[in-house]
Amino acid sequence: MTASIELDLKQRLAKLSERDRLAMSAYLLRLKHSSKSGRRGVSKLMKEMDAGEKTGLAKLAAELGHG
């Protein structure tokens, strides 16, 4: 993605209502989780949880790209 396209998208997203931004955020998160790397990240976390390892909310958010 070029810098000008990214800037345009960011400016358009900033103009959305809170409800529309939340909907867009959910959509982008769904796209991320459907990607190969996103599925690998979630799978890794699930394996750690199955093994009894605990993950703090801050660490989880950072690993999922929300922090």
pLDDT, tens only, 21-37? 999 999 988 888 888 98
In which band, very low, low, confident or very high, does the pLDDT at 67 lie, cut at 50, 70 and 90? low
| Interval 36-62 mean pLDDT | 84
Distance (Å, whole) CA 66 – CA 25: 10
